[in-house]
Homo-oligomer: A and B are copies of this chain.
Amino acid sequence: MALPEHSPELKFAVLAADVVLFTIDEEILKVRVIQVNRPPYYDHMVGLPGGLLLPHENAEESARRHLKEKAGIQSDEIYLEQLYTFSKVDRDKRGRVVAVAYHAFIPWEKLSDAEKEPSNSWWVPVVALDNLAYDHDEMLALAVERLRSRAHYTTLMSKLMPAEFTLTELEKAYEVVLAKDLDKRNFRKKLLKLNVLTELPRKRTGGKFRPAQLYTFTSSDVISIEVL
Output the residue of A15, A48, A56, A228 with the most chain B CB within 10 A: A15
Whether A55 sits at the interface, judged by CB under 8 Å, is yes
A-B contact pairs, 19 of them (CB 8 A): A1-B16, A1-B47, A1-B97, A2-B14, A2-B97, A3-B52, A5-B95, A6-B14, A6-B94, A10-B54, A11-B13, A15-B15, A58-B87, A59-B87, A59-B98, A60-B87, A87-B100, A98-B98, A152-B227
Whether A99 sits at the interface, judged by CB under 8 Å, is yes
Cβ B1 vs Cβ A88 within 8 A: no
Cβ A39 vs Cβ B4 within 8 A: yes
Assembled-state Cα–Cα distance A36/B56 (Å): 26
Cβ A98 vs Cβ B1 within 8 A: no
A contacts, CB < 8 Å to B: 1-6, 9-16, 18, 36, 38-39, 47-60, 66, 70, 82, 84-85, 87-89, 92, 94-100, 134, 152-153, 227-228
Q: Which residues from chain B contact A100 at a C-beta distance below 8 Å? A: 85, 87, 98
| Stoichiometry, copies per complex | 2
Q: Which residues from chain B contact A47 at a C-beta distance below 8 Å? A: 1
Q: Which residues from chain B contact A97 at a C-beta distance below 8 Å? A: 1-2, 6
Cβ A2 vs Cβ B52 within 8 A: yes
Assembled-state Cα–Cα distance A70/B1 (Å): 9
Chain B, Cβ-Cβ closest to A47:
B1
Chain B, Cβ-Cβ closest to A3:
B52
A217 smallest CB distance to B (angstroms): 20
Assembled-state Cα–Cα distance A51/B2 (Å): 5
Assembled-state Cα–Cα distance A70/B2 (Å): 12
Q: Which residues from chain B contact A1 at a C-beta distance below 8 Å? A: 16, 18, 36, 47-52, 66, 70, 97, 99, 134
Cβ B51 vs Cβ A95 within 8 A: no
Assembled-state Cα–Cα distance A12/B12 (Å): 9
Q: Which residues from chain B contact A4 at a C-beta distance below 8 Å? A: 38-39, 94
Cβ A2 vs Cβ B55 within 8 A: no
Contacting residue for A2 out of B60, B85, B89, B94, CB 8 A: B94
Q: List 14 additional A-B contacts (Cβ < 8 Å) besides A1-B66, A6-B14, A58-B89.
A: A4-B94, A6-B95, A13-B55, A15-B15, A15-B98, A58-B87, A59-B85, A60-B87, A82-B85, A85-B100, A152-B227, A152-B228, A153-B227, A153-B228
